A and B are shown apart, each in its own frame.
Chain A
Amino acid sequence: MADETTNQGIPEPEGHSEVIATDYEIGQDNIEAQIGPLKFDIHNPVFVISAAMIVLFVAIALIWPEGSKETFLAMRDYVKSTFDWFFLLSANFFVIFALFLIVSPWGKIRLGGSEATPDYSYPAWFAMLFAAGMGIGLMFFGVLEPVYYFGTPWGDQPLGGALGIVDGVVADPAALKAARQMAMAATIYHWGLHPWAIYAIVGLALALFSYNKGLPLTLRSAFYPLLGERVWGAWGNAIDTIAAFATLFGLATSLGFGATQVASGLTEVFGSGDATAGTRNFMGFLWGNADGSSDSSVLLVLIITFITAIALVSVIRGLDGGVKVLSEINMGLAGLLLAFVFFAGPTLAILGDFIGGLVGYAKNIAPLSNPFGRDDTGFLHGWTTFYWAWWISWSPFVGMFIARVSRGRTVREFVISVLLIPSLVCVFWMATFGGTAISQVVAGASESGVFQNVIAAYKPEISLFAMLGELPLASITSVLAVVLVIIFFVTSSDSGSLVIDTITAGGKVDAPVSQRIFWCIFEGAVAGVLLRGAAGTAGLDSLQAMVISSGLFFTAVLLVMCFSIMRGLMSEPR
């Protein structure tokens, strides 16, 4: 095998799945050690370099918060505006490729070999897909995004269309309907086929090369058709290190921002005192800001500690006892909230937004996904490219987690379930939450809470609570929403810890528990340190900007993965 060229590295199909014959043994580059009572089994270069780079970047963010923020934000903005065409065209390609796989004859290949059976039932599987991939985004953007596109006073509405509300006055019925449909369509565009195609491709590549080809469950394995045995050396180390790095920082910054959202939500709903006078606080943690935003780092660190603690319990209980259970609880609660808003809100209008949104999506998907000749650069760069870079840099984490729980599904089943069903659920969610919010804005104009917190003044973390505030049982649903947000962060943290643990253990899923405990705590520590140490959220901003810039690198990685998937599928017996 070692002396064969790359093109002959994958043997001819025979038997029920074709394991790649390589002399590489999983764990051969690992150091198995014991520090006191704790055992470790870590991949030598990947773990050490990832950990060192993370510490280095956190130090940079702490020592030069404003400077590093400026630099990384500039880098992010450069990447977003210069490479917007690359992100958009690649994402379009991924959607088409994924749809092709559904109908292609390779769709019936089963992950894990022809005799494999699915590891998880459909409900458990979906719950885990959502909770890892997108749950928190739905909570945060569900109200915010449709309303924003409906009435933004900052000129960045999708495709530069007419707004539904201008200067506090609701537009005439025709313009209103068009604006509403476009707002839903553009939101669905960001949460529908494109992001899920990205996750599906990464998940499929990793699952195929692990369960069918017998290679370690880590990103480098998907490069075997291209790099052959070189994938175990420096090339593979680089890929895995960057993936671990992007995952950890993606999680830590997401956790940090999430804590600010939870803090703002808690203060808005349960706080006392006066925002304008600057005395508004939650349980005695003082706020200083008239706009209601929180910068009391003590409260934020407490929230992060709380989230990390629950995630730690989940991680120790493992995939079935922890992650799956929490994900199912999440889906149950989210379903409850969704059903409540659907029935307590303007149900007919929501159904109208659901259908209208889908129709609008079908009509507008081409102009929205076209990167050339666009005048609405505020929308194109500020929203679409930002999202694509974010989803793509998040995709090693989500893709690996999806791969971990998807053994036994056929390619067709996998792509349909990861691409189409979550997209539909997202559409329904956005129609329910966003549609209700838009209806509230139309009915109440500048009096509505949603208008005040999204259009009049931009306070995104309050938007969900503002919408719930105008429905019955607001205090109960607000508690439910806060709980949901917290649990969604926990499920991102626990699944992320498992993924980083696997990548830095060279693809082993059975590394000692002490390692995943380490990563879980480390993530929380990074988020907490950045919030306490840097000027406000400058540390988080700069590191998140850096993660998004890494989306450029990962877009190239994903394109290679598409190639690998085809090589892998073609060499499987059918």
Chain B
Amino acid sequence: MFKRIMMPVDLAHVESLGQAVTVAADLAGHYGAELVFVGVTATAPSRAAHSPEEYRDKLAAFAAQKASRHAITTRAQPIISHDPAVELDDVLIKAVGEVGADLVVMATHVPNMADMILPAHGGALARHTDVSVFLVRHA
């Protein structure tokens, strides 16, 4: 049913991914899909990495680790953005097309007041793409 699953990850907050990675990996295993980890980084050093090259390496290592842990095919797709804090939605929406994903699995929070002003990224993806979007809430 699904050939390629896309999972946006925030390497600076890996702990907040929670069980979403397991869910994505299970789906990938079940459907024999490729799991593509998409990470967005700025050009300037950030908490996740000192440079875009280092970020690319870290994301690749992350993907490789998940591949061996869950016995699935994974890929890393790092994306460079000039201003990730505001461009994240647009970058992810574009990435869905570039990756050629037919399912997006994302970790997300329970909706709160903040979403009225600064809506969650999962919601934006669901609204503006035509692929299936699976939002895995934090426990």
Interface positions of A (Cβ within 8 A of B): 16-17, 19, 25-27, 34, 36-39, 112-113, 115, 119, 210-211, 214-217, 316-321, 404, 407, 507-514, 516
The residue from A316, A404, A512, A513 contacting B44, defined by CB atoms under 8 A apart = A404
The residue from A27, A217, A507, A511 contacting B85, defined by CB atoms under 8 A apart = A511
Given A19-B54, A318-B86, answer yes or no on A507-B45 (Cβ-Cβ < 8 Å). yes
Q: Does B29 contact A (CB under 8 A)?
A: no
Q: Give the residues in chain A near B44, CB-CB below 8 Å.
A: 210-211, 216-217, 404, 407, 507, 509
Given A37-B118, A318-B83, A320-B82, answer yes or no on A211-B43 (Cβ-Cβ < 8 Å). yes
User: In the bound complex, do residue A510 and residue B42 qualify as a contact, i.e. CB atoms below 8 Å apart?
Assistant: yes
Contact with A along B78-114 (1 / 0, CB 8 A): 0000111111000000000000000000000000111
User: In the bound complex, do residue A214 and residue B50 qualify as a contact, i.e. CB atoms below 8 Å apart?
Assistant: yes
CB distance from B78 to the nearest CB of A (A): 14
**Most chain A CB inside 10 Å of its own CB: which residue of B42, B82, B115:** B82
User: In the bound complex, do residue A214 and residue B42 qualify as a contact, i.e. CB atoms below 8 Å apart?
Assistant: no
Q: Is the interface of A mostly helix, strand, loop or mixed?
A: loop
Q: What separation, in Å, do the CA atoms of A423 and B86 have in the docked complex?
A: 33
Q: What separation, in Å, do the CA atoms of A80 and B110 have in the docked complex?
A: 57
Contact with A along B113-129 (1 / 0, CB 8 A): 11111100000000000
User: In the bound complex, do residue B45 and residue A513 qualify as a contact, i.e. CB atoms below 8 Å apart?
Assistant: no
User: In the bound complex, do residue B82 and residue A26 qualify as a contact, i.e. CB atoms below 8 Å apart?
Assistant: no
**Contacts A113-B53, A319-B86 supplied; 5 other A-B pairs, CB < 8 Å:** A210-B44, A211-B43, A320-B83, A508-B46, A509-B46
CB distance from A449 to the nearest CB of B (A): 44
Q: Give the residues in chain A near B87, CB-CB below 8 Å.
A: 318, 320-321
List the B residue with the shortest CB-CB distance to A20.
B50
CB distance from B63 to the nearest CB of A (A): 21
Q: Is the interface of B mostly helix, strand, loop or mixed?
A: loop
Q: Give the residues in chain B near A19, CB-CB below 8 Å.
A: 50-51, 54
Q: Give the residues in chain B near A216, CB-CB below 8 Å.
A: 44-45
Q: Does B69 contact A (CB under 8 A)?
A: no
User: In the bound complex, do residue B86 and residue A36 qualify as a contact, i.e. CB atoms below 8 Å apart?
Assistant: no
User: In the bound complex, do residue B84 and residue A210 qualify as a contact, i.e. CB atoms below 8 Å apart?
Assistant: no
CB distance from A514 to the nearest CB of B (A): 7
List the B residue with the shortest CB-CB distance to A207.
B44
Contact with A along B34-78 (1 / 0, CB 8 A): 000000001111110011011000000000000000000000000
List the B residue with the shortest CB-CB distance to A513.
B85
List the B residue with the shortest CB-CB distance to A516.
B85
Q: Give the residues in chain A near B47, CB-CB below 8 Å.
A: 25-27, 508
Q: What separation, in Å, do the CA atoms of A514 and B85 have in the docked complex?
A: 10
Q: What separation, in Å, do the CA atoms of A318 and B87 have in the docked complex?
A: 7
User: In the bound complex, do residue A319 and residue B82 qualify as a contact, i.e. CB atoms below 8 Å apart?
Assistant: yes
User: In the bound complex, do residue A17 and residue B51 qualify as a contact, i.e. CB atoms below 8 Å apart?
Assistant: yes
Q: Give the residues in chain A near B85, CB-CB below 8 Å.
A: 318, 509-513, 516
5 cross-chain pairs, A with B, having the tightest CB-CB distances, nearest first: A214-B50, A318-B86, A37-B114, A318-B83, A319-B83
List the B residue with the shortest CB-CB distance to A322.
B86
List the A residue with the shortest CB-CB distance to B49.
A214
User: In the bound complex, do residue B117 and residue A37 qualify as a contact, i.e. CB atoms below 8 Å apart?
Assistant: yes
List the A residue with the shortest CB-CB distance to B41.
A510
CB distance from A406 to the nearest CB of B (A): 10
Q: What separation, in Å, do the CA atoms of A268 and B8 have in the docked complex?
A: 55
User: In the bound complex, do residue A113 and residue B51 qualify as a contact, i.e. CB atoms below 8 Å apart?
Assistant: yes
Given A510-B84, A513-B118, answer yes or no on A214-B45 (Cβ-Cβ < 8 Å). yes
Q: What separation, in Å, do the CA atoms of A317 and B82 have in the docked complex?
A: 12
User: In the bound complex, do residue A316 and residue B50 qualify as a contact, i.e. CB atoms below 8 Å apart?
Assistant: no
Q: Give the residues in chain A near B86, CB-CB below 8 Å.
A: 316-319, 321, 513
List the B residue with the shortest CB-CB distance to A36.
B113
CB distance from A10 to the nearest CB of B (A): 14
Q: What separation, in Å, do the CA atoms of A472 and B27 have in the docked complex?
A: 71
Q: Give the residues in chain A near B83, CB-CB below 8 Å.
A: 318-321, 509-510
User: In the bound complex, do residue B50 and residue A514 qualify as a contact, i.e. CB atoms below 8 Å apart?
Assistant: no
CB distance from B113 to the nearest CB of A (A): 4
Residue pairs across A and B with Cβ atoms less than 8 A apart, 13 shown, are: A16-B53, A17-B51, A25-B47, A26-B45, A34-B114, A37-B115, A38-B117, A211-B44, A217-B44, A318-B83, A318-B86, A319-B86, A508-B46
Q: Give the residues in chain A near B54, CB-CB below 8 Å.
A: 19, 214
Q: Give the residues in chain A near B82, CB-CB below 8 Å.
A: 119, 318-320
The residue from B46, B53, B113 contacting A37, defined by CB atoms under 8 A apart = B113
CB distance from B75 to the nearest CB of A (A): 21
Given A210-B45, A509-B42, answer yes or no on A39-B114 (Cβ-Cβ < 8 Å). yes
